[in-house]
């Protein structure tokens, strides 16, 4: 299937990086946010991401503008009426996402595929936002941050997604250099379940005074080959978000995902990580 025109809804951290990943792969991308100023800010952030690629020698200076020219910030749905693939990356809230999809459903062409980048909402439940005729063309496409760099994408069919659509979307993702994996529509999909099981165990090691955060990070980097340790990662991601995800996993899977008291304590103290200058580590020193 020819899918040259892509729409991305939500120009925040994920949406702007997803738009960039498609533009780097040669696609024309319309990037929508609630205002043109927000969509344009998303594009400005992409410019900064491209500078990082250039600095690392992964992109020629001359290609930067060519990539940016493929991205059009917008604040209305008209410009994506003829898109063939649309990814939603707005706030993680069912009603907000539902409104976006039901609006898109009335505007977009019948053969347009809808994807959501949700981390925690059931794909099958979100699919109820569109009319029955489009159910086969609705699925989850879960990118990892920063989406222009991270190769993995979890592709999550709903109960009603057509197999052919899953194959087309996986091919589309491969065409921009990603490595998609197909995952069932379960809470946390695959990666967040493995990841948070590890974070929770890291918190237990600290509670039991088995080792310090520095040494646990060192253990994961030098013993397991991880590029970052769990404490460094928790601080980059934001401890409030880490706690929220673990509460969602705990609701679904019970004890094995119960958030540890030491994480709750960090959140109560506003030690959220790099964003507040203090998390498991102190960045104000
Ligand atoms: N942050 C992560 O690491 C991560 C990873 C994978 C998936 N996700 C998921 O991606 C989605 C976006 O997360 P984020 O971190 O980019 O959030 P964010 O808050 O940075 O960005 C959300 C953007 O959506 C915009 N928006 C809200 N309502 C809108 C509407 N009706 N129409 C158009 N734009 C609208 C906001 O103005 C904002 O710019 C969430 O569903 C989240 O769960 C996040």
Structural domain spans, the chain: 5-182, 191-276
Which residue minimizes the CA distance to atom 5 of ligand 1?
Answer: 144
Q: Does 148 contact ligand 1 (Cβ within 6 A)?
A: no
Mean pLDDT of 7-26: 97
What percentage of the chain carries pLDDT values higher than 90?
Answer: 98
- Report whether residue 118 contacts ligand 1, using a CB cutoff of 6 Å: yes
pTM above 0.85, yes or no: yes
- pLDDT tens by residue, 161-194: 999 999 999 999 999 999 999 999 999 999 999 9
Read off the tokens for 139.
Answer: 């699925």
Tokens at 61, concatenated: 């200076």
State the CATH class of domain 191-276. Answer: mainly alpha
Q: What CA–CA distance (Å, rounded) separates 75 from 10?
A: 10
pLDDT of residue 2: 53
- The pLDDT of 101-118, averaged and rounded, is 97
Q: Is-contact 7 78, C-beta < 8 A? A: no
- Count of CB atoms within 10 A of residue 58's CB? 10
Q: Report the topology of domain 5-182.
A: Rossmann fold (3.40.50)
CA of 222 to the centre of ligand 1 (A): 34
Handedness of CA 5, 28, 15, 24 (dihedral sign): positive
- As a whole number of Å, the CA-based R_g of the chain is 20
- pLDDT of 1 > 60? The answer is no
Q: 195 is written with which tokens?
A: 């990841």
Please state, in angstroms and rounded to a whole number, the distance separating the CA atoms of residues 24 and 148: 8
Strands 138-143 and 152-157: antiparallel
pLDDT in tens, 3-13: 589 999 999 99
Mean pLDDT score across all residues of the chain: 96
pLDDT value of residue 24: 97
Residue 71 has pLDDT above 60, yes or no: yes
**Residue 7 near residue 135 (C-beta atoms within 8 A):** no
The residues near 132 (Cβ < 8 Å, ≥ 6 apart) are none
pLDDT of residue 79: 85
Which DSSP helix (H) or strand (E) runs through 71? strand 71-74
Q: Do the beta carbons of residue 274 and residue 220 sit within 8 Å?
A: no
What is the β-pairing status of strands 179-182 and 152-157? parallel
CA 15 to ligand 1 center in whole angstroms? 6
Give the model confidence (pLDDT) of 135-167 as tens digits.
999 999 999 999 999 999 999 999 999 999 999
How many C-beta atoms surround the C-beta of residue 165 within 10 A? 18
Residue among 9, 11, 14 whose CB has most ligand 1 atoms within 8 A, to mutate: 14
What pLDDT digit, counting tens, does each position of 193-244 carry? Answer: 999 999 999 999 999 999 999 999 999 999 999 999 999 999 999 999 999 9
Q: Give the integer Cα–Cα distance in Å for 48 and 42.
A: 10
Looking at residue 3, what is its pLDDT?
57
pLDDT at 285: 79
| Calpha distance 219→226 (Å, rounded) | 9
Give me ligand 1 centre to Cα 122, in Å: 16
Residues 24/18, Cβ–Cβ less than 8 Å: no
Catalytic, out of 49, 142, 148, 239: 142
User: What does residue 143 show for φ and ψ, rounded to 5 degrees?
Assistant: -85, 165
Distance (Å, whole) CA 123 – CA 186: 9
Summarize the confidence of residues 53-69 as an average pLDDT: 95
């Amino acid at each position: 299937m020819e899918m040259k025109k892509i729409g991305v809804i939500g120009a925040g951290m994920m949406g702007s990086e997803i738009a960039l990943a498609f533009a780097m792969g040669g696609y024309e991308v319309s990037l929508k946010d609630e205002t043109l100023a927000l969509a344009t800010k998303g594009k400005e952030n992409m410019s900064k991401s491209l500078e990082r690629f250039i600095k690392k020698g992964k992109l020629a200076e001359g290609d930067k503008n060519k990539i940016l020219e493929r991205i059009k910030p917008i604040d209305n749905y008209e410009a994506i009426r003829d898109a063939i693939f649309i990814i939603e990356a707005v706030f993680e809230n069912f009603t907000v996402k539902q409104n976006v999809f039901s609006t898109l459903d009335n505007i977009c062409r019948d053969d347009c595929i809808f994807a959501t980048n949700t981390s925690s909402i059931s794909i099958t439940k979100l699919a109820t936002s569109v009319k029955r005729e489009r159910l086969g063309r609705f699925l989850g496409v879960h990118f990892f941050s920063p989406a222009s760099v991270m190769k993995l994408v979890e592709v999550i069919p709903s109960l009603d997604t057509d197999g052919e659509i899953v194959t087309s979307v996986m091919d589309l993702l491969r065409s921009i250099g990603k490595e998609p994996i197909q995952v069932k529509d379960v809470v946390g999909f695959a990666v967040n379940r493995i990841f948070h099981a590890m974070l929770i165990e890291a918190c237990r090691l600290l509670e039991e005074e088995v080792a310090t955060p520095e040494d646990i990070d060192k253990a994961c980097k030098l013993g397991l080959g991880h590029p970052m340790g769990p404490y460094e990662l928790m601080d980059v991601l934001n401890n409030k978000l880490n706690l929220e995800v673990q509460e969602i996993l705990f609701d679904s899977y019970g004890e094995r995902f119960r958030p540890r008291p030491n994480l709750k304590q960090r959140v109560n103290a506003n030690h959220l990580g790099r964003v507040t200058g203090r998390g498991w580590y102190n960045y104000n020193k």
